[in-house]
Chain A
Amino acid sequence: MQTFQPQTTSRLDDIKHLRDIFNAQNSKELKVAFDALNPSFTISEEDLEVQFNRYFVGPMETVADPFASVYLDNPDVFMSKSTLHVRDLYETMGFSYSLKNVIPEDHLGVELDAYYQLLFLEEAKEITYLSDLRHYFLHEHLALWIPRFLERGLAQSEKDAPAITFILQQLKSLLIRETTTTRSS
């Protein structure tokens, strides 16, 4: 089994790469985002996508659906209460979403994008106007479902998919780091 170490990159970059992994629409995009997260991990573009799809996309029943509502509301359904709650949050954060009612707002890739953009305002632009919303989003939403998602994914990936384990471990590290970081203001 390939060994790897979590990378030490910037807080914002990590979120961005993870976001891009979960929002990738093809194997090339997926591999670019994965390599950005860990350039030393050897896996072919096709193998990475096949594994990623088995875990998170389908068409077969996935190992861990990347939708918050599946963990917070009902294990079989999306576009439910949690999805609509996140929709409200995004609108209050000032986001518009061109894939509204096409890809649910509580998809992990979309949520990581929201979190990335909010953190970017604080870290890169030093604007703290939305920090309460970011913390609320983190503690009252992301931190409620991502651990369950990680648990489900890791329970399987540690047996058969090191690349997926790496992605999930990075996400886990990120979540721990974010939830234990003192707010900047």
Chain B
Amino acid sequence: MSYSKEKVESILNNGISRRSFLKGLAASGVLSSLPGGILQANEDLNTKIPYLGQKNYQTFRNACPRNCYDTCSIKTYVKDGVMQFIEGATESTYTRGGCCVKGNSYVKRVYSARRLKFPMMQVGGKGSGNWKRVSWDYAMETIAKKLLEMKKEDGTLLGAALTKYSGNFGITHYGVEGMFNSIGYTTRLAGTPCWPAGIDAQNLDMGDMWCNDPEEMKDSKFIILWGVNPASNSVHSMKYIYEAKSKGAKVVVIDPVFTEAASKASQYIQIKTGTDGLLALGMAKIIIDANLHDQKWLDANSKGYKEYKAYLDKEIKLDNVSKITGIPLAMIKELALSFVKAKPATIWMGYGMQRHTNGGSMIRAIDALVAVSGNIGKYAGGARYGHLSTWGFNYAALSQTKPEGSVGYTGPEGAKGEFAQVGGEKAAYTDRFLNINKTARELLNAKEPKVRLLWVACKNVFSQDFDRNQLIRAFQQLDLVVVADQFFNETVKWADIVLPVATQFEEYDVNVSYWHYWLSLNEQAIKPLFEVKSDVEIAALLSKHMNKLEAGSCTFPQSVDTKAMTIKEFNPGIYEQFGIKSWEELKNGSVKAKAVIPYADGKFKTPSGKFEFYSDKALELFGSALPTYLEVRKPYDKFRMTSPHSRWSLHSQFQNLEWMEDMHPEPYVYINPDDAEAKMVKEGDTVAVFNKQGLLRVKAKVTDNVQAGTVLMYEQWYNNNIYNVNELVDDTSSDMGAFKTGAPGVALHDTFVNFRKL
């Protein structure tokens, strides 16, 4: 071939050559001769001049909407409509210009070849793998017809169920619940698999779950990281911990596992799993016995201290505390006394500790310890767990009225979830609530009417929920399973219809954290790829099709744009709290809520208005008014299995990306050397880990990061790997959670297994 590569590249890369070439193209009449296809003749030839080195980016404000403490403020760099890179926004002192390992992969995530691209139907039955492309109109008409048919046959829409959780915490994504609100009374998988036991515990003690600003930790004199691993899972919090440490603060990690955070601490205390509550009670007793407790604060601000002290005096024996927790008594005493002498001191309780059958009671015991030490309501102090105090949005997308004449559930009412609970007068009917932590059996057992349609959004059921075999049965018995997602996963595998969902870079939204105090706008930075739509656009399209088939059957707006929907979420309260006059100010960067020290005024939202050591509500609901020691679940197999988050993923999210697969390609079971030796397992051996629930085959890593008697397997799904640790987890509940979130949590870390070399 006698073409000239150099000549063409010169035209492509040189602005002047290209201009003259294009002039010739226009003059020659070529354009009018093109036959036309997906590409059209560019009649005006207003072609961009090639990139010649200028950093001509457009920038946009974004926010990470994942279920993570850090909720990073992001600055997105776009050129010619294509995301080039992102960085943490510098305006947020919390994010401070950096993202975590997952956030830094966002460009790869958005442009992943694995993205779901089009609405599709599985034509060979669930799990067949036979998929057909359908138009959005066809998909939504099919769903709308099914809903109206069910309504006609059942007299209600309680046969339509929604399961949605934390795949996207953007505020407009509550439009998914809004969509279900707008069609009538329906069935909801309610509760949370994550943190409910602790939410209940803090609400019993303080009437709220409300924590100090994490940025204050830089001024704490003593920090206990209790069952939390921020070095992996809240990396931006670490700089405050490092700063405190550099100023002389002591940082202690208490955890059954030697975590990344433990490796950065002043001291690591390896506690026997599930005995944390007893350690907290023992520490409180030591503090009180040494007369170092804050009697003045307790007198003014607490209820039931006397009963609590009496309980400690009578029931808590320090020798037993040492024996049961596995920590030398001298170490416990030193820890308790140095903690109480440091002012201010704080404890950060992670979501790992409360995932036990005694999880709520352990959080109550630690709250009590912080109260006794006089660190509640103090700058750089506090019993930190999480907060929703900056979540006061309008929930406009969520708040839809029911169609006239809607008929619903008349059984006992449950709470609706930890986010965005809306009040109002008691209606004649309610939605029907099923326990999200027992999804499989609840779907199978629901009667009158049975569940016939399931909508899955912001959630990978097969990765997060329990009892996979029962889940398959539950999905197969459903007439229609609709999954809205960004990637193919095992839940999509068992769907009838899959709807491709936009990433946060393809829609407008607004985000806040359940940990820090920053508010971030999420601007649409790029066009939605292929045929993806945002959750609220999907809701609007469903509304359009339902109303076309039956006028008045859905009250959700029939067309929305995500920017208009986002603007509707703001209100004067938000503006006041964050010190801005308009949402548009967020285009300049995220803003922080005005500083407030939780409970500094001594006012608690408990029935007594005080910190409640003694809670009548706790007595009524859980049989114990005081934060007492509750033994952890008895073993039903030889080894305890704990399943924490890894730093490379948020459950199944991000783990499918090449960067993560490079670093963390396959699952392992982490085994203590003593246990490995007893079972003749060596590093790299393939072992079967099994229990009454199931069996997984994984490679072994032998490490004393985990204690003898315990094995560790990270939660999540790995791409092209059948591994899912939840296949070994039963759905046994933690002690608390039903009070505030509608259902108790799951005692994930009270799973027991055995293993053998294969």
Q: Measuring CB to CB, which residues of chain A are less than 8 angstroms from any residue of chain B? A: 19, 23, 25-27, 46, 49-50, 53-54, 57-62, 65, 67, 70, 74-80, 83-84, 87-103, 109-110, 113-114, 116-117, 120-121, 124-125, 127, 129-133, 135-136, 139-140, 179, 182-183
Contacts and interface: CB of A to CB of B under 8 A. Distances in A.
A26 B2 CA distance: 40
Interface residues of B, number: 69
Given A26-B133, A92-B22, A80 B111 contact: yes
B113 interface: yes
A30 to B, nearest CB: 9
A95 B46 CA distance: 11
Contacts of B291: none
A100 to B, nearest CB: 7
B72 to A, nearest CB: 21
B571 interface: no
B31 A94 contact: yes
Contacts of B83: 79
A113 B37 contact: yes
19 contacts: A46-B123, A54-B131, A57-B131, A65-B113, A67-B113, A74-B658, A76-B657, A84-B82, A91-B42, A94-B26, A102-B529, A117-B36, A121-B30, A131-B3, A132-B3, A135-B3, A136-B8, A140-B5, A140-B8
Interface centre among B40, B132, B135, B488 (most CB of A within 10 A): B132
Contacts of B42: 91, 94-96
A54 B133 CA distance: 11
B115 to A, nearest CB: 8
Contacts of A46: 123, 132
B53 to A, nearest CB: 15
B450 interface: no
Q: Please provide the 3 A-B residue pairs with the shortest distance between their CB atoms, ordered closest to farther.
A: A135-B3, A96-B42, A101-B81
Contacts of B113: 62, 65, 67, 70, 75-78
A122 to B, nearest CB: 10
A91 to B, nearest CB: 4
Interface string B3-45: 1110111011000001001101110111101111111111101
Contacts of B33: 121, 125, 127
Contacts, number: 184
Contacts of B111: 77-80
A54 B488 CA distance: 12
Nearest to B134: A26
Interface string B102-118: 00000010011110111
Interface string B130-158: 11111100000000000000000000000
Contact of B30 (A49, A61, A110, A130): A130
B526 A101 contact: yes
Contacts of A125: 33
B41 A132 contact: no
B40 A98 contact: yes
B38 A99 contact: yes
Contacts of A127: 28-30, 33
B24 A129 contact: yes
Interface string B28-69: 111101111111111101011010000000000000000000
A21 B26 CA distance: 31
A25 B34 contact: no
A148 to B, nearest CB: 14
Contacts of A74: 658
Given A92-B18, A125-B33, 11 more contacts: A23-B37, A53-B131, A57-B131, A58-B114, A58-B117, A61-B114, A76-B113, A79-B529, A127-B30, A130-B25, A183-B3
B4 A97 contact: no
Contacts of B541: none
B330 interface: no
Contact of A110 (B36, B39, B45, B120): B39
Given A94-B45, A116-B37, A88 B50 contact: yes
Contacts of A96: 39-43
Most chain A CB inside 10 Å of its own CB: which residue of B39, B492, B527: B39
A79 B505 CA distance: 15
B39 A114 contact: yes
B326 interface: no
A28 B75 CA distance: 43
Contacts of B112: 76-77
A49 to B, nearest CB: 5
Nearest to A83: B82
B3 A139 contact: yes
Interface in B80-110: 80-83, 108
Nearest to B108: A77
